[in-house]
């Protein structure tokens, strides 16, 4: 089973959590895209009645394309479940997210969900956060250089993320920049998540500690669930 097949298998497993009349947070990225496409298929073919709350323009456009009715965050009384991918998952189910630069809205929606379900292929499992992935940090543009210097006190280095298909840096949907921070070691993910957000000019960071309820892992031997 290749990586894309693992991602799709995880997305198929996540559909088992979806019931009629649910409000579903729709994540961003390649694995979340499989879930959105499969959820849309159930809406069309089975008449499943759900509403989606997208975490990005990408997930919004994909949901519309697949016929999923949408709500804005302020229209929903509650979010039943949220489904999204992750860049890394440690043994305590702490996450690094934000490679798609949608981390702020992802965190807002996923912290408010009754159940947060994470979809990954087995290659995203790590022994500790930061083992392979940088921690994305959304920052106010005018402050990015000062924040990059401030992050050095955490024994880390931060680089401004540059765009691939345009000149200049990546600009988030909130009009901000992304710093990618690499840490020598993240001893306490929850403490680091809180500490980073205390730096003036930081909007949000990509450590999602103590939030995932279920992690669905697609692997060569099939799909497994990890639960907190």
Name the phi and psi angles at 167, rounded to 5: -75, 145
b/e sequence 197-211, b meaning 16+ C-beta within 10 Å: eebeebbbbbbbbeb
What's the number of CA atoms in the CB half-sphere (13 Å) around residue 120?
21
Of the candidates 97, 104, 59, the one whose C-alpha atom is nearest the C-alpha of residue 207 is 97
State whether residue 90 is helix, strand or coil. Answer: coil
Separation CA 189–CA 209 (nearest Å)? 6
Q: 160-169 — which CB contacts under 8 Å span 24+ positions?
A: 161/101, 161/136
Residues identified as active-site? 106
Residues forming beta bridges with residue 139, ordered by sequence position:
177, 202
Exposure string over 135-163, b if 16+ CB within 10 A, otherwise e: bbbbbbeebbeebbebbeebebebebbee
């Amino acid at each position: 089973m290749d990586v894309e097949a693992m991602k799709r298998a995880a997305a198929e497993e996540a559909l088992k959590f979806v019931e009629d009349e649910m409000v579903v947070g729709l994540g961003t990225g390649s694995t979340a895209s499989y879930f959105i496409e499969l959820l849309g298929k159930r809406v069309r073919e089975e008449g499943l009645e759900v509403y989606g709350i997208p975490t990005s323009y990408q997930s919004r456009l994909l949901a519309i394309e697949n016929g999923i009715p949408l709500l804005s965050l302020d229209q929903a009384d509650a979010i039943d479940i949220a489904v999204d991918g992750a860049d890394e998952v440690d043994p305590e189910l702490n996450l690094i997210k934000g490679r798609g630069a949608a981390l702020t809205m992802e965190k807002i929606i996923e912290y408010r969900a009754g159940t947060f379900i994470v979809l990954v292929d087995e290659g995203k499992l790590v022994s500790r956060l930061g083992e392979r992935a940088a921690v994305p940090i959304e920052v106010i543009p005018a402050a990015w250089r000062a924040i990059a210097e401030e992050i050095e006190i955490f024994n880390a280095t931060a680089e401004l993320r540059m765009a691939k298909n345009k000149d200049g840096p990546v600009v988030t949907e909130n009009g901000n920049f992304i710093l990618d921070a690499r840490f020598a070691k993240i001893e306490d993910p929850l403490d680091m998540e809180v500490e980073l957000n205390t730096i003036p000019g930081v909007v949000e960071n990509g450590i999602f500690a103590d939030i995932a309820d279920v992690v669905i892992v697609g692997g060569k031997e099939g799909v497994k669930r990890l639960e907190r």
